[in-house]
Amino acid sequence: MAPKSGERRLKAKTFYICQQCGYQSLKWLGKCPDCGQWDVMVEERREPPTASRRGGAPQTTAPQRLSDVATTEEERCLCGLSELDRVLGGGVVPGSLVLIGGDPGIGKSTLLLQAVGSLASIGPVLYVTAEESARQVKMRGERLRVNAKDLFLVPETSLETILERVRELKPRFLVVDSIQTIFTGDLESAPGSVSQVRECAGRLMHLAKGQGVSTFITGHVTKDGAIAGPRMLEHMVDTVLYFEGDAGHPYRILRAVKNRFGSTNEIGVFEMKEGGLAEVPNPSELFLAERPEGAPGSVVVPTLEGSRPILVELQALVSVSTFGQPRRTAIGIDPNRVALLVAVLEKKVGLSMLSQDIFFNVAGGVRLSEPGADLGVIAALASSHLNRPVPGKLMLFGEVGLAGEVRAVSRPELRVREAARLGFDRCYLPAGCLKAVEAPPGMELRGVRSVEEALDEVFA
């Protein structure tokens, strides 16, 4: 049918889109100008908007005053895993959209299957398995002892079919595993492309907000550790969780990096066993269980992950370099931060490490990002360099500045109480925190103002 006079016919356009960052170009480029990655520009054909795509958004409402908006707290649903509930901020919020990212095989599907097994007692759950067959999920469910009556499986990759099944079943919870394998027929690009991931996530967001269906979607991560697909995906969802772990350790850490309904930087600790993921309610005891006694370079520091204090072991190895260029390796902590603290040791304390190989590790696969561990890093490096062990029941924490001063950190009382609970009897902390902390029974607190003063006390 020919278009009417004055009416322009919309034509499909061809773009080249970076599969790493979503940068768009009208012509092919070997290197993305935005993220700098090579051979990531893929041709995608963009069709004009269809009625189904234009009508997917919920209807708009009339403006209302801020004072008239209801402030009743959302009723949360507990998923049976207290560690997951902690990371989510106290449970699953109705109508929320949660993204869980992690390496393939890390345990994302296992975690969700265990969670929805308990959520199915609250309301119907629709589990969309786009990567595995229903039989495979059933076998995993038998291993995890998940046998919920209202848990429904759909092995499907078409978004339109999934939305139709949601309209038929009317579930209270929806799981899509994974978002990179879902596609919509309105786009000609392949599943997993930037356009497909963005469009499918947008439709699922409208479903969650419009019908109040709590939705979980999983996503793979790239070699850099970021969730594959456009960065916009993390902005669209309510909560972003990263499931981290090392193939050499049975422990998994679930970390919240975005949460509109709770605190960010919360973590949950799990242990991968034959029967699934087991919760670890006391991670401090777990991380210190195999700590060597009287070994130089080993120091315990209390770190805060969200609202939870965790004691972790820092290990340093300083040895004479046999090469012209000394090696600097750090695992579990920012290598630049370690290099900065090594420079402070050389300049302010007088320990010469210019010709030394330095290897640093955070035991247990934990990743530290807060500056409260600086004083512990300093003590571990000095202990290994001097070949003098730090007393086993001694603990240190504090931020270290470039002038060698020890600065105050947040929530020192939580750190001290956790150390006292595990039997530590002496703690060196910033002098600025000393007045705000009451010493627990059997714990001796000593405030220090500089790195040199702290090391003199430890190795006196």
Domain assignment of residue 70, yes or no: no
Percent pLDDT > 90 in the chain is: 47
Give yes or no for a contact between 460 and 440, defined as CB atoms under 8 angstroms apart: no
Q: How many CA atoms lie within 13 A of 30 on its CB side?
A: 0
The strand pairing partners of 271, in sequence order, are 251, 278
- Do residues 92 and 186 share a domain? yes
Domain assignment of residue 57, yes or no: no
Beta-carbon contacts of 258 under 8 Å, excluding residues fewer than 6 positions away, are 234, 237, 239, 240, 264
Final residue before a domain boundary, out of 222, 256, 281: 281
Domain assignment of residue 8, yes or no: no
Q: What is the mean pLDDT of the chain?
A: 86
**CATH code: domain of residue 225:** 3.40.50.300
The number of folded domains in the chain is 3
186 is in an annotated binding site: no
Higher pLDDT residue, 162 or 7? Answer: 162
DSSP output for 133-167: -HHHHHHHHHHTT---TTEEEE---BHHHHHHHHH
Q: Which of 105-119, 217-231, 304-318, 350-364 has the lowest mean pLDDT?
A: 217-231
Domain assignment of residue 435, yes or no: yes
Tell me which residue range forms the domain holding 414: 286-458
Q: Which of 325-329, 362-366, 415-419 has the lowest mean pLDDT?
A: 362-366
- Do residues 340 and 222 share a domain? no
DSSP 364: G
pLDDT digit string (tens) for 210-244? 899 999 999 877 655 566 555 678 888 999 998 88
Query: 3-state DSSP: the chain helix, strand, coil percent, rounded to 5?
Result: 30, 30, 45
**CATH code: domain of residue 356:** 3.30.230.10
- Do residues 102 and 201 share a domain? yes
Predicted model pTM: 0.73
- Do residues 189 and 326 share a domain? no
Residue 318, Cα to own-chain centre: how many angstroms?
A: 31
106 is in an annotated binding site: yes
- Do residues 312 and 171 share a domain? no
Among 262-266, 375-379, 388-392, name the most confident range: 375-379
Domain assignment of residue 4, yes or no: no
DSSP output for 197-257: HHHHHHHHHHHHHHH--EEEEEEEB-TTSSBSS-THHHHHSSEEEEEEE-TT-SEEEEEEE
Domain assignment of residue 396, yes or no: yes
Higher pLDDT residue, 193 or 155? Answer: 155
Element (H, E) at 168: helix 159-169
Alpha helix (H) residue ranges in 277-373: 283-287, 335-344
- Do residues 221 and 330 share a domain? no
- Do residues 260 and 203 share a domain? yes
Residue 57 in this model has a pLDDT that exceeds 60:
no
- Do residues 292 and 227 share a domain? no
Residue 305 in this model has a pLDDT that exceeds 90:
no
* pLDDT for residue 48: 61
- Do residues 214 and 342 share a domain? no
At residue 54 the predicted structure's pLDDT band, cuts being 50, 70 and 90, is very low
Dihedral pair phi/psi, residue 317, rounded to 5°: -130, 115
Domain assignment of residue 223, yes or no: yes
- Do residues 271 and 301 share a domain? no
Joined tokens for residue 38 = 């090579």
Distance CA 12, CA 342 (A): 58
- Do residues 238 and 300 share a domain? no
Give yes or no for a contact between 377 and 348, defined as CB atoms under 8 angstroms apart: no
Element (H, E) at 194: helix 194-211
Joined tokens for residue 212 = 């109040």
At residue 7 the predicted structure's pLDDT band, cuts being 50, 70 and 90, is very low
- Do residues 116 and 254 share a domain? yes
Query: Among residues 291, 259, 299, which one has the least CA distance to residue 97?
Result: 259
CA angle, corner 289, sides to 286 and 292, nearest 5? 145
User: Please, what sign has the CA dihedral across residues 436, 390, 295, 326?
Assistant: positive
By three-state DSSP, how is residue 271 classified?
strand
What is Dmax (Cα atoms) for the chain?
Answer: 92
Residue 38, Cβ density class (10 Å: 0-12 exposed, 13-18 middle, ≥19 buried): exposed
Domain assignment of residue 382, yes or no: yes
Distance CA 164, CA 225 (A): 34
171 is in an annotated binding site: no
By three-state DSSP, how is residue 195 classified?
helix
284 is in an annotated binding site: no
pLDDT digit string (tens) for 400-450? 999 999 999 988 999 999 899 888 999 999 999 988 888 888 899 999 999
Final residue before a domain boundary, out of 281, 303, 333: 281
